[in-house]
Amino acid sequence: MGSTTDKIKGMANEAVGNVKQAVGKATDDKHLQAEGVVQERKGEAQQAVGKAKEAVKNVIDRA
């Protein structure tokens, strides 16, 4: 995957994770809240991977 794809998928996972957390909190569903936290963290990690790929590409392009 490219850096942009990783960043977009990461943002989507973060958003879905936040929604799951909110719905879980509103319905007192601890399992759904936990699922949301995991998905949000996955999104954060995907974005970090995208940023790292972009940084490496920038270094290579400057070389």
pTM of structure: 0.85
pLDDT attached to residue 49:
96
What's 13's DSSP letter? H
Per-residue pLDDT tens over the stretch 1-57: 789 999 999 999 999 999 999 999 999 999 999 999 999 999 999 999 999 999 999
DSSP conformation letters of 18-59: HHHHHHHHHTT-HHHHHHHHHHHHHHHHHHHHHHHHHHHHHH
The whole-number pLDDT of residue 26 equals 98
Cβ–Cβ < 8 Å for 13, 36: no
The H or E element spanning position 1 is none
- Single out the residue of 7, 5, 2, 16 nearest to residue 48, CA to CA: 7
For the chain, state the CA radius of gyration. 15
**Domain encompassing residue 50:** 3-62
pLDDT at 63 over 90: no
